[in-house]
Structure formats: C-alpha cells, structure tokens
C-alpha cells in the first residue's frame, strides 16, 4: 500500500481528524504512534483499530505543548522501528472569543498547543529525518489561517503561523529529501465543530460550494496523499480541503 516499514507520528489521534489520519496511514501499511493530552481511552481505541491492519500502533500520553513530553513521544516512536519517516502535526484546540474579551490565557493556550507544539514536533522530527535523508511532514492548518475568522484571532494566528513554518521547513529541508506541506481544512464534522448550533452549521453548509461539511476522512485522504510517494515532488504547499469555501 506504499507506507510499509515506515513509522508515522500523528499527534492527537484519539478522535476526529487525527483518528482518521491514523487509520488511513495504518491502512497503507505505516506503523502508528499517536499521542493524547487527556483522552487515553479514545487514543487506545484508535491504536487498536490501527492494529487491525496488521501494523504496530501505540498511544503515548504527551502534551505537545511540553518539550519534555514531545521528546519522550519521539523516543517511544523510535523504539518501534528505530526511525521516524512521517510526522503529521494534527493536535489542536480552539478558545474562541472576540478580541476585546480574549484573555491572555485563551491566547497562550491556543498558541502553545497549535504552534509551539508543532514547533517542538517539527524540531524533533527534522533532527531524525535529516539523519535518514528522508521525511514526509504534514501540518494540519485551517482555512481560518488563510482567510481569518471573527472570534478566532488566537486560532487564526496559530494556523497562519503553521503555514509560515511549513514553507520555511520546505526550504530548509528540501535538499535532504524531506517534504513539508500543510492541509487547510474548512468545516469538518468533529467534536471541534459539533459545539456549533445546527442552524449555524446549516448556514455554513450554504456558504460551501459543495453544500456540505467535510468528513475527517476527506482530510485524512489529503494527508495520506502528501506523505505518499505520489507526492514526492510536492513541498511547501497548502492544500485546501474545504469543499470550495475558499
């Protein structure tokens, strides 16, 4: 299936988009290492579903905003095959508020998880991938990082920052055969968007060219393409998975 004997770290794989990415990469033969901040049971469910594809899969408790946790996560992943070929920075949170009411904590929590967490993982991965002269990295950004969104100054800044990191990493690591791309999902049905009232979701669906919200699998398919050999000449790109919203 194309990813046999490769190890993929997918952060935040317990549910939503992260789980769909773990399952998709496992179905393509990759060993999976995922992490969770709070949801141990959900992450364990994900890895047991991955194992049904005959791959090795483990879930590690690691808060991506903690440098020590991220180092421990990568060390655990290396124990599986000795190498890490794929990184998907998926873990993310929202703490929405209008700027006038946004607290320092709301700003910091989102930046620390979505941006600093990705930075720690990118640094840990690049060290290992450069040694191997091979790597495939996908950062899960957002359409909000491209277009902005009222009430999401913190989230938009983190997701736009991820795009900047993606393009810089592509330039820095391309000569070592490491690609780095971003996926920018639109509205995808997960716990993150379930909090929205039904009438708001209907309004959103009307604003999307394809007239519906996306699924976690839609995003997973894009991430899987970007880590596959079919995408070996694609780097520094932002692939929108948004039903035509943008």
**Binding residue (CB under 6 A) for ligand NDP from 3, 7, 8, 12:** 12
Is 140 or 178 the residue whose CB approaches ligand NDP more closely?
140
Given candidates 193, 215, 221, 228, which one binds ligand NDP under the rule CB under 6 A?
A: 193
Q: 154-159, long-range: CB within 8 Å, 24+ apart, which pairs?
A: 154/95, 154/102, 154/106, 154/107, 154/109, 154/110, 154/111, 155/94, 155/95, 155/96, 155/110, 155/114, 157/110, 157/111, 157/115, 158/92, 158/110, 158/111, 158/113, 158/114, 158/115, 159/114, 159/184
93 is a contact residue toward ligand NDP (CB under 6 A):
yes
Annotated catalytic residue 155: yes
Among 49, 80, 192, 204, binds ligand NDP (CB under 6 A): 192
User: Which tokens in the block code for residue 31?
Assistant: 């060993």
Nearer to ligand NDP, 42 or 102 (CB): 42
Binding-site string for ligand NDP from residue 140 to residue 169, where x marks contact by CB under 6 A and - marks none: x-x---------------------------
Provide the minimum distance between the beta carbon of 52 and ligand NDP in the complex, in angstroms, as a whole number: 20
Choosing from 36, 53, 134, 155, the catalytic residue is 155
Cβ(162)–Cβ(115) below 8 Å: yes
What is the distance between the alpha carbons of residues 6 and 236, in angstroms, rounded to a whole number? 22
- Of positions 31, 90, 126, 166, contacts ligand NDP by CB under 6 A: 90
| Binding residue for ligand NDP, selected from 23, 35, 88, 122, defined by CB under 6 A | 35
Nearest-5° Cα angle at 239, 237 to 150: 110
How many other C-beta atoms lie within 10 A of the C-beta of residue 5?
11
Site stretch for ligand NDP (CB under 6 A), options 96-104, 126-134, 171-179, 186-194 = 186-194
The single residue among 6, 10, 47, 63 that binds ligand NDP, judged by CB under 6 A, is: 63
Distance CA 16, CA 18 (A): 6
**CA 18 to chain CA mean position, Å:** 7
190 binds ligand NDP (CB under 6 A): yes
Summarize as ranges the residues that interact with ligand NDP (CB under 6 A). Answer: 11-12, 14-18, 35-39, 63-65, 90-93, 113, 117, 140, 142, 185, 187-188, 190-193
Active site residues: 155
């Amino acid at each position: 299936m194309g990813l046999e004997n490769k190890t993929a770290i997918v952060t935040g794989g317990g549910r939503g988009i992260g789980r769909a990415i773990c399952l998709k990469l496992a179905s393509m033969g990759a060993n999976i290492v995922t992490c969770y901040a709070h949801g141990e049971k959900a992450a364990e469910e994900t890895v047991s579903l991955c194992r049904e594809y005959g791959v090795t899969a483990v879930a590690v408790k690691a808060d991506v905003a903690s440098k020590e946790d991220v180092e421990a996560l990568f060390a655990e992943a290396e124990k599986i095959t000795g190498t890490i070929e794929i990184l998907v920075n998926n873990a993310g949170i929202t703490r929405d508020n209008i700027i006038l009411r946004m607290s320092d904590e709301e700003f910091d929590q989102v930046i620390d998880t979505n941006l600093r967490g990705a930075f720690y993982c990118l640094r840990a991965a690049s060290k290992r991938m450069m040694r191997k002269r091979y790597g495939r990295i996908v950062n899960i950004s957002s359409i909000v990082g491209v277009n902005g969104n009222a009430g999401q100054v913190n989230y938009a800044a983190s997701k736009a920052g991820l795009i900047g990191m993606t393009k810089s990493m592509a330039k820095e690591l391309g000569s070592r055969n490491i690609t780095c791309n971003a996926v920018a999902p639109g509205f995808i049905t997960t716990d993150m968007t379930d909090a929205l009232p039904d009438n708001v979701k209907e309004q959103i669906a009307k604003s999307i060219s394809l007239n519906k919200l996306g699924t976690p699998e839609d995003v997973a398919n894009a991430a899987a393409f970007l880590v596959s050999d079919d995408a070996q000449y694609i780097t520094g790109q932002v692939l929108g998975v948004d039903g035509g919203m943008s």
